[in-house]
Chains A and B, each alone.
Chain A
Amino acid sequence: MAGGIGVDLENLWIRFGDFVAVRDANVNINGGDFFSFLGPSGCGKTTILRAISGFLQPSEGRVLIGGKDMAGIGPNKRPTALIFQNLALFPLMKIWENITFSMEVKGAGKAERRKRADELLEMIALEGQGDKLPSELSGGQKQRVAIARALCAEPDVLLLDEPLSALDLKLRQHMRTELREIQQRVGITFIYITHDQGEALTMSDNVAVMRAGVIEQIGSGHDVYDLPATPFVASFVGENNVFRGRILEVNGTEALIRTNRSGDLLAQITPAARGVLKPGDEAMMFIRPEALSLVVDAGAHEKTRLAAKVVNEEFEGNSYSVFLEGDGGKRIKMSLPNVGQDRIASKGEDLTLKYELRNAVVMPAGELAAE
């Protein structure tokens, strides 16, 4: 990636009165990265974005953009451009005036602005629509205009605050790819805020998962999905089956857990908990639905098998979901690809499932994401 300008948050605290919106955030965002803050609403991710763009002063800690401390520098002096959740297109200005607003305030002439607007309109595939008003465009078109307007300011860092949340599903999926393409074309740092883990995983080089003002994990999409650092991350990012229990023994990066219901199972310890987890600790083990499969051979390791009663089965077109009785009233979900089976199991049947050791992670017990 053509090295853009990086953003660093150092010991960042943001308080509103007694309420702590952001607690000791430390993030290093590489130049040219597509970086996402992922978390449920109210977790403080927008607050972080506003601190980066300069609308909020941190209570403690520093925001550095390109290594420069941004304290006391207003939003109009920072090399950032923000795409608002509601887009905030100027309703009384034509599209091309909207796009080139950043040039207008710097005193650029009309001809120059018009030319630049046409270039950007071409880039976002809205040629010839420059003379319309924002109210005359569709949601997706407005979205692209907002991006063009931000890019016109030639920022070093583009901040996006849930820009796709107002769009319908199809358009949202389309815009994901488009955003990623735009980011790769312009090569600047994108910082993206979302509560949609799908968006975060598809587009991002790195993801920070937040909960209640605390950054729980920072890593690539794969890391976050496959090796969640906390139960919250494990349950918030994608679907997951949780098995509660106690550690029986620890063997290097593996641990044997005595689960409440499914017997003794083996799992790998998540990197963040290695050396922390000891025998006797309360623990949670997570296995993705797609990592479970039916036992057909007898040769696999005994400690990666579990038995459970089928509650029901759902056909989802490309896959079957089988729900089995799990612990604590929760159900174990297993996803199996539809490869022409009539059905997997009938209600009440006892099934034996297996998984690969690398697909099971264990970590100290903690809070799960709300469902």
Chain B
Amino acid sequence: MRSNILLSRIALGLYLVIFFTYLLGPLVIMSMTAFNSNPFPTITPWDCFSFEWFQVLANDERILRAILNSVIIGLGTVVLSVAMGLAASLILTQIWPRWRSTYYTIIIAPILIPGVVLGISTVVFWDRLSRILGPATDALFHNGIFLTILGQSTFIASYTMLVFVARLQRYDPGLTEAALDLGATHVQAFRKILLPFMRPAIASAAVLAFLASFENYNTTTFTFGRYPTLTIELAQKVRYGINPSISALAFIIVSLTVFGALANEAWRRGRIKAEAERKGEAVAQGRSILPGFLRGNWAAGALVLFSFVVITLFWTARAYSPEQCKAEVRAAKQAEAAKRREELLRRRAQQRLQQQMKGPDIFVPSGKPAPAGGAAAGKPATGNAPFGGVFDPGNLEGQSGTGEKPDEGSNAAPPAKPSPFGGVFDPGNLANQAGAGGDGESGEAPPGKADDNGGAKPTSPFGGVFDPGNLKGVGGGAGEGN
């Protein structure tokens, strides 16, 4: 019996862990990728702790403008949908008791209509209207911000109305009557009695409306015109490949959300506690080193902790430079690549050995034993080879010659080909390396030189990490041992 209970508790705990991992895991992972210097949003491999993507984000004009558009549209939607929702809820609860259910259906319908339809119909409607009303209205009725606010408000107003109706059901109409009876006009009764009562609902409806507007895509995609919102901009960006600056944005948004939620909770708990203390139901907890507003209020504690973490993070960001680490990571990668390269070389050497044992003509149709580096020049682009020409035996010719004449060998290297591996395995690149193997002096080339070469191939999808040019120095270093 007891073990059953324990088991079910464990199962419940497990379920909760899985559930919250499912809910929050992606957000946590995404937030973390914002701090990885790896140019692809990932946490493995973890390269360096870096703030560079915040920098990238801060310099991204399009994103910033999109955020501004989103905020403007969000605020407009808040104003419009809160006003419409409040009016609708008042009519629903107080004015038309007989038509209530019909009216409710009509008001709630926009929630059920797909956002795409709302978006298209908004554009079409205002377009027709501007044609009817003449060109004077053209600029306004085709303005992306105007259309987006209207389009979003059609259904967001329904959301806000639901919030207001829930609150209004707890309102005692007697209060309005009491105000009227005491000489207030209807406007005064609304402003001084009903509106203060609705204030919490107005606040939550405004937040709801803003968030719904901010995250909306499918209505906005038809209405935004020349004012793309953040969601639109992000969607467009993803199409051309992403980098962690989007993660940085995600981190900022998640942080703001967490901060807002904690602040709200802390404030609410603080008020409840103050209320209880004023009524004498709870005494202020006695000795504690914590300041009063933190006592017995976990949310306030969490808020302080969270703020502390974020402030530390930003303070670190100003002082911290990941260059050292980045250089180390680069070096590590280069070392790893070099190791692979040596491996490759060794294999090739073996292959060559085998070839020579079997006979030199097997792979080289020209039949030349290829002792001279110049022979390579006679072998032009084999660029269409599926492995970037790695296994093109012709490439090996230069190699074979480099032992004696390194300079010639390097000249013989074929021009860079658009290899899928960013030229990593392009054997032509190996020419220098191999030469370095023979020539101890060139192995002492400073790493700066390797950087220069790496920078010259910006089209590589991996940011030139695997650019063999980077390996020169390393390879040289390895060659020294020979």
Contact of B180 (CB < 8 Å), options: A75, A90, A106: A75
Cβ–Cβ contact B180 & A84, under 8 A: no
Cβ–Cβ contact A90 & B183, under 8 A: no
Chain A hits for B196, CB < 8 A: 92
Instruction: Check A153/B183 contact, CB under 8 A, given A82-B178, A105-B188.
Output: yes
Chain A CB within 10 A, most for which of B181, B183, B184, B279: B181
Cβ–Cβ contact B181 & A75, under 8 A: yes
Cβ–Cβ contact A90 & B185, under 8 A: no
Residue of A nearest to B279 (CB): A136
Cβ–Cβ contact A53 & B181, under 8 A: yes
Cβ–Cβ contact B183 & A76, under 8 A: yes
The distance from the CB of A295 to the nearest CB of chain B, in whole angstroms, is 56
* Chain A, interface residues (CB within 8 Å), range: 20 to 34
Majority secondary structure, A binding face: mixed
Cβ–Cβ contact B177 & A84, under 8 A: yes
Instruction: Check A76/B172 contact, CB under 8 A, given A88-B178, A136-B279.
Output: no
* Chain B, interface residues (CB within 8 Å), range: 10 to 19
Contact of B178 (CB < 8 Å), options: A74, A90, A92: A90
Instruction: Check A76/B178 contact, CB under 8 A, given A86-B172, A90-B193, A136-B279.
Output: no
Chain A hits for B185, CB < 8 A: 76, 105
Residue of A nearest to B182 (CB): A102
A315 at the interface (CB under 8 A from B): no
Instruction: Check A101/B184 contact, CB under 8 A, given A84-B174, A90-B175, A136-B279.
Output: yes
A81 at the interface (CB under 8 A from B): yes
Give A344 to B212 CA distance when docked, in angstroms.
81
Give A259 to B55 CA distance when docked, in angstroms.
105
The B-contacting residues of A in range 129-155, CB under 8 angstroms, are: 136, 149-150, 153
Cβ–Cβ contact B181 & A76, under 8 A: yes
B207 at the interface (CB under 8 A from A): no
Cβ–Cβ contact B177 & A81, under 8 A: no
Give A102 to B192 CA distance when docked, in angstroms.
12
Give A299 to B425 CA distance when docked, in angstroms.
139
The distance from the CB of B101 to the nearest CB of chain A, in whole angstroms, is 20
B120 at the interface (CB under 8 A from A): no
* B 91-106 binary contact with A (CB < 8 Å = 1; else 0): 0000000000000000
The B-contacting residues of A in range 71-96, CB under 8 angstroms, are: 74-77, 80-82, 84, 86, 88, 90-92
B40 at the interface (CB under 8 A from A): no
Give A104 to B189 CA distance when docked, in angstroms.
11
Give A90 to B189 CA distance when docked, in angstroms.
11
Give A104 to B192 CA distance when docked, in angstroms.
10
Instruction: Check A102/B177 contact, CB under 8 A, given A92-B196, A136-B279.
Output: no
Cβ–Cβ contact B279 & A105, under 8 A: no
Give A292 to B31 CA distance when docked, in angstroms.
91
The distance from the CB of B274 to the nearest CB of chain A, in whole angstroms, is 12
Cβ–Cβ contact B183 & A105, under 8 A: yes
The A-contacting residues of B in range 158-201, CB under 8 angstroms, are: 172, 174-175, 177-185, 188, 192-193, 196-197
Cβ–Cβ contact A105 & B177, under 8 A: no
Give A303 to B183 CA distance when docked, in angstroms.
61
Chain B hits for A136, CB < 8 A: 278-279
Chain A hits for B181, CB < 8 A: 53-55, 75-76, 80-82
Could you list 12 further interchain pairs (A-B, Cβ under 8 angstroms) beyond the known A74-B180, A76-B181, A101-B192?
A75-B177, A82-B177, A84-B174, A88-B172, A90-B175, A90-B178, A92-B197, A101-B182, A102-B182, A105-B179, A105-B183, A136-B279
B interface residues with partner A (beta carbon < 8 Å) = 172, 174-175, 177-185, 188, 192-193, 196-197, 278-279
Going nearest first, the 4 A-B pairs with the smallest beta carbon separation are A88-B178, A102-B182, A88-B174, A105-B184
A interface residues with partner B (beta carbon < 8 Å) = 53-55, 74-77, 80-82, 84, 86, 88, 90-92, 101-102, 104-106, 136, 149-150, 153
Could you list some 13 contacts between A and B, CB below 8 A? A54-B181, A75-B180, A75-B181, A76-B182, A76-B185, A81-B181, A82-B177, A82-B181, A84-B177, A86-B172, A88-B178, A90-B193, A153-B183
